[in-house]
Amino acid sequence: MKNLLFNRLSEACATASDQKSFGKALGRITRSYGFNGFAYLHLHGENPAVVTNYPREWQVNYLDRGYARLDPVVKAARAQMQAFSWSVDEDRRHGNGDIRKFCDEAVDFGIRSGLSVPIQTGHGKLGILTLSSSRPAHDSNGNDLDPIRAAAAAAFVHNKLIHTAVDGVIRPTTNLTHQELTCLYWSAEGKSMEDIATMEGLKYSTVRFYIEAAKKKLGTITLSQATAVATRWKLI
C-alpha cells in the first residue's frame, strides 16, 4: 500500500505546474492513504526550509525554536539514511525533558506517527520527506516499505520543489496577498502603519486589516514576529 503511495507521489511530480498546486496534490494523496499531513524539510545551514500542510503555528514554532536540532525524526534520518517509520509516543518514552516537551507539542498539533524518507541533496544538505498521522503507530507501519522506491519519490519531490521555486530556493507555501506582503515589507523597513497608508495611498484601517490578516496567516501574535518570520522565510 505504501509503495503505491510513493508511486502516486512520483506521478504528482510530473503533472503539477507550480509549488502551490504541487502542495495541494501532496495533501490529497497523503490523505487518501490514511495520513493527515506531509512535510518536506530541507536542511542547509542554520535556516532549514519547510514545505508542508502542517498547522501554521506548528511551522512557526518549529522554525523559530530551532526544533530541527531536537527533532528525533531528523536525528534518525541522519543516522540511517533510508525510509523508516516513527512514533512520537516511542520517542517520548526514551527521550529527555526537552524531547518529551517537543513530542507533547507535536501531538497537540496532530503529529503522532508516520513515515520519513531522507535523501542527500548535494553539498552536505539533507532532505526529509515525511508523512504523518494523528493516530498511534502500528508495528507493521514500516514493514512493507521499499527503500529504493521511497527514496526515488523523495528525490522527485525535492527536484519538483526546487524547479518550481523562485530562484531555486524552497520556501514555505503561504497564501499571503500582495497587499499583505507589501505592508509587512514596509513594516520590516521601520515604517509605521500611518507611513504605509500614506505611501501606498491606503486608509490606516486598511493597512491595519492587511497586517492583522498577515499575522494570522503566519501564525504570529505581534507585528515584529510576523516581519521576522516573513524575512526568515524570504517572503519579503
User: What is the C-alpha to C-alpha distance for residues 155 and 51, in angstroms, rounded to an integer?
Assistant: 14
pLDDT in tens, 82-106: 999 999 999 999 989 999 999 999 9
Q: Is residue 173 part of a domain?
A: no
- On whether residue 48 sits in a domain, the answer given is yes
Q: Is there a single domain that holds both residue 78 and residue 122?
A: yes
Q: Are residues 128 and 29 in the same domain?
A: yes
The whole model's pTM is what?
A: 0.71
Q: What is the pLDDT of residues 170-186, one digit of tens each?
A: 455 567 888 999 999 99
Same domain, 59 and 130: yes
Residue 186 lies inside a defined structural domain of this protein = yes
Per-residue pLDDT reduced to its tens digit, 27-82: 899 999 999 999 998 887 656 778 888 988 888 788 778 898 899 999 999 998 99
CB 43 within 8 A of CB 94: no
Question: Kind and range of the H or E element at 120?
Answer: strand 113-122
* Percent of the chain scoring above 90 in pLDDT: 48
The helix/strand/coil state of 236 is coil
Helix, strand, coil shares of the chain, percent, nearest 5, are 55, 15, 30
Domain harbouring 192, CATH code: 1.10.10.10
> What's the CATH number where 17 sits?
3.30.450.80
Please indicate, yes or no, if residue 139 is contained in any of the structural domains: yes
pLDDT score of 169: 45
Domain boundary among 168, 190, 210: 168
Residues 191 and 135 in one domain: no
144 plus 209 within the same structural domain: no
Query: How far is Cα 34 from Cα 171, in angstroms, rounded to an integer?
Result: 26
Q: Say if residue 131 is in the same domain as residue 194.
A: no
Give the three cell numbers for residue 8. 502516486
Q: How many domains does the chain have?
A: 2
User: 133 and 191 share a domain?
Assistant: no
Judged by DSSP in three states, 165 sits in: coil
The DSSP code for 123 is T
CA distance linking residue 22 with residue 129, whole number of Å: 14
Rounded to 5 degrees, what are φ and ψ at 114?
A: 170, -165
- Residues 6 or more apart from 45 whose CB is under 8 A from it? none
Q: 200 and 157 share a domain?
A: no
Residue span of the structural domain in which 89 resides = 2-168
Residue keyed to cell 514576529: 225
In-domain check, residue 143? yes
Q: How many residues does the chain have?
A: 236
What is the rounded distance in angstroms from the CA atom of residue 50 to the CA atom of residue 59? 8
Whether 57 maps to a domain, the answer reads: yes
Question: Are 91 and 132 in the same domain?
Answer: yes
The rounded radius of gyration (Å) of the Cα atoms in the chain is 19
Across the strands, what pairs with 127? 42, 119
